[in-house]
A and B are shown apart, each in its own frame.
Chain A
């Protein structure tokens, strides 16, 4: 989109605009005010998103907009520029700040005061501040700033009512001219950006003024009583300690991955330790649900349709040893339901549960800090680990999360790596199921190869560009006990997203497989691709089918390996090649949308080169 088009965009107007720094609980307050019906969208012409919703108050509907988290109104980054635009279209502003860190948040408040819009200050997380022995004289603060100040706890809803009432009693046309003239509520004169004089000095002078002003306000309104370090604070220090922190990181990551497998296996099989002999076994699980509940009616349907006919193939698939095999039959009602609901869904639930715990507790940024040095050697930032971990669930949100990275090139490298070498939970569920049956070593082989590919590609990409990589500078949020409600909401959102988007594609993929089989189209393609597949990769020529279907859905494709009776070596090569070869349709679309056509094509080129190389190498080495 060019400048001209951007200017023609309609201004986003709002009755109430929430502005604040990241991690102040702005979105929690937002959902308290607006309820569930909200729309998150990208601000026109930017990668920054904001959320819009409606609030009912006194029988009127008001539009509430949650601006992106921003540290200041200096238009030095996209979030700030978007916020400035949103302020222009706002009738009233609520500035949300963390009551425990006045001195960090008041500079933005002073900048907002200079905007001359009705402004209310919301001191959020006042309970946390209280725990830290901080008390704030809100009346005095209100008088100093000349605006209403409300302290609240957005998480529990305490004080939200009072905030909303205050918001609508601030007159819209209020002018703060008298403030400019040296009123007690006077704020320093802040220029948005230095357009004249030597650039450096001007900002410096203004900033110093702000810091002094903030310092004097904080001294007057805030009292801190010394308190002993809480367990949380002790843990925060330990988890960035060079030695203890490393131990904690290993422990957390190890526990997370074991937990994901345990919970997944438990939901599928009702037991723990399915790959070997289960230690615990319960008459429960999706596997049993399918064979016991769905089995009998499908057996009946199978007889009715007569095996071998077109509709039998489509709905039931082919029988294995005269019986329906939910994994291998490949009909819409058998594998079409079992793969997404019986195998993939349990692992997805378990993955997102564990990931949300890590996210909401505040551990992920600490892991990013620890890995920063290692990731820098690979030409990446420590924070690139967060989209990568997300990609292990589903590549789509993973690639979308690369937006947290600063430069275009960082985003390109991280998304390319995710789409090539990071298998999603759906694919992993199938890999663990099929390859894990052959033992732990082949499974380690698959994951090990993908990890090596991930490292090698990033090292190669690193040397193709001498881009300056900005150094890490980031606030580490405090540890917080994850709120169960919010966690469940997020999981529900992610899982229904999978069901809505993936289920139809899985069904379509299975229909496509059956139709292409019957029309012998696969035979033609298999002939063309045969040399690469059989000579270079040592796979049977039929494995072209799963590879092609992998473009639609990887989990379905992996399931198609099952009836091919592959050797362990072929299974390992097949899993690796399938993971790397063309990302699934959804990932493909998002990759091009995020990177643009040119970079998207380069990314696909890198993918093709590395998949041919890796498949061939594995065939030679193994």
Chain B
């Protein structure tokens, strides 16, 4: 099932399908190992529309909600 990272329920695993942003955003995400095809796990949604926390290869990454809305993922 395809959805956006912001809407993925906590605890679910997914694969990044596409990053709907410019080069700058792709590059910022890429530095942290986030690119198309990468497997991730949603760890938490900080309350009050705060950042989204995901775990990639045992590392936690915090992503602003607006950016998380532009990352399309497919649940595994």
A475 to B57, CA, bound (A): 12
Most chain A CB within 10 A, of B23, B31, B66, B67, is at B31
Q: Is the CB of B66 within 8 A of A473?
A: no
Q: Which B34-67 residues have a C-beta within 8 angstroms of A?
A: 35-37, 43-51, 53, 57-67
Q: Is the CB of A474 within 8 A of B57?
A: no
Q: Is the CB of A104 within 8 A of B33?
A: yes
Q: Is the CB of A71 within 8 A of B32?
A: yes
* B47 cross-chain contacts in A, Cβ below 8 A: 242-243, 246
Q: Is the CB of A473 within 8 A of B61?
A: yes
* B43 cross-chain contacts in A, Cβ below 8 A: 237, 240
Q: Is the CB of A241 within 8 A of B44?
A: yes
Q: Is the CB of A211 within 8 A of B35?
A: yes
Q: Is the CB of B58 within 8 A of A101?
A: yes
A259 to B28, CA, bound (A): 38
| Candidates B28, B31, B36, B53; contact of A369 at CB < 8 Å | B53
CB distance from A31 to the nearest CB of B (A): 25
Q: Is the CB of A242 within 8 A of B33?
A: no
Query: Given A474-B62, A475-B61, are A372 and B32 neighbors across the interface (CB < 8 Å)?
Result: no
| Candidates B31, B37, B58, B64; contact of A471 at CB < 8 Å | B64
Residue A103 is within 8 A (CB to CB) of chain B in the complex: yes
CB distance from B38 to the nearest CB of A (A): 8
| Candidates A208, A242, A476; contact of B60 at CB < 8 Å | A476
CB distance from B6 to the nearest CB of A (A): 12
Most chain B CB within 10 A, of A245, A472, A473, is at A473
- Measured CB to CB, the nearest residue on chain A to B64 is A471
Give the secondary structure class of B's interface. Answer: mixed
Q: How large is the interface on B (under 10, 10 to 19, 20 to 34, 35 or more residues)?
A: 35 or more
* B37 cross-chain contacts in A, Cβ below 8 A: 211
Residue A370 is within 8 A (CB to CB) of chain B in the complex: yes
Residue B27 is within 8 A (CB to CB) of chain A in the complex: yes
Query: Given A71-B32, A103-B57, are A245 and B46 neighbors across the interface (CB < 8 Å)?
Result: yes
* A101 cross-chain contacts in B, Cβ below 8 A: 33, 57-59
Q: Which A341-384 residues have a C-beta within 8 angstroms of B?
A: 365, 369-370, 372-374, 382
Q: Is the CB of B62 within 8 A of A472?
A: yes
Residue B29 is within 8 A (CB to CB) of chain A in the complex: yes
Residue A74 is within 8 A (CB to CB) of chain B in the complex: yes
Q: Is the CB of B46 within 8 A of A473?
A: no
Residue B3 is within 8 A (CB to CB) of chain A in the complex: no
CB distance from B61 to the nearest CB of A (A): 5
Q: Is the CB of A104 within 8 A of B59?
A: yes
A107 to B30, CA, bound (A): 10
* B33 cross-chain contacts in A, Cβ below 8 A: 101, 103-104
Q: Is the CB of A473 within 8 A of B59?
A: no
Q: Which A67-82 residues have a C-beta within 8 angstroms of B?
A: 71-72, 74, 76
A204 to B35, CA, bound (A): 10
Residue A504 is within 8 A (CB to CB) of chain B in the complex: no
A240 to B66, CA, bound (A): 18
Interface size on A, residues (CB 8 A): 40
| Candidates B28, B31, B44, B61; contact of A245 at CB < 8 Å | B44
Residue A45 is within 8 A (CB to CB) of chain B in the complex: no
A281 to B7, CA, bound (A): 56
Q: Is the CB of B59 within 8 A of A475?
A: yes
A207 to B35, CA, bound (A): 9
Most chain B CB within 10 A, of A72, A107, A204, is at A204
| Candidates A103, A199, A237, A472; contact of B51 at CB < 8 Å | A472
* B26 cross-chain contacts in A, Cβ below 8 A: 203-204, 207
| Candidates A71, A72, A199, A245; contact of B23 at CB < 8 Å | A199
Residue A132 is within 8 A (CB to CB) of chain B in the complex: yes
Query: Given A103-B33, A200-B23, A211-B37, are A242 and B64 neighbors across the interface (CB < 8 Å)?
Result: no
Residue A546 is within 8 A (CB to CB) of chain B in the complex: no
A6 to B29, CA, bound (A): 31
Query: Given A207-B30, A473-B28, are A478 and B59 neighbors across the interface (CB < 8 Å)?
Result: yes
Q: Is the CB of A204 within 8 A of B32?
A: no
Q: Is the CB of B60 within 8 A of A475?
A: yes
Residue A287 is within 8 A (CB to CB) of chain B in the complex: no
Residue A236 is within 8 A (CB to CB) of chain B in the complex: yes
Q: Is the CB of A204 within 8 A of B58?
A: no
Q: Is the CB of A473 within 8 A of B60?
A: no
- Measured CB to CB, the nearest residue on chain A to B49 is A373
A369 to B24, CA, bound (A): 22
Residue A100 is within 8 A (CB to CB) of chain B in the complex: yes
* B45 cross-chain contacts in A, Cβ below 8 A: 242
- Measured CB to CB, the nearest residue on chain A to B58 is A132
- Measured CB to CB, the nearest residue on chain A to B44 is A240
Q: Which A197-221 residues have a C-beta within 8 angstroms of B?
A: 199-200, 203-204, 207-208, 211
CB distance from B33 to the nearest CB of A (A): 4
A-B contact pairs, 24 of them (CB 8 A): A76-B27, A101-B33, A101-B59, A104-B59, A203-B27, A204-B23, A207-B35, A240-B43, A240-B60, A240-B62, A241-B44, A242-B47, A243-B47, A369-B53, A370-B46, A370-B50, A372-B46, A373-B50, A473-B67, A474-B62, A475-B59, A476-B61, A476-B62, A478-B58
Q: Which 3 A-B pairs have the closest CB atoms?
A: A471-B64, A71-B31, A373-B50
Given A200-B22, A473-B28: 14 more A-B contacts, CB < 8 Å: A71-B31, A100-B58, A101-B58, A101-B59, A104-B57, A132-B58, A208-B35, A237-B43, A240-B62, A373-B48, A374-B48, A471-B66, A474-B62, A476-B53
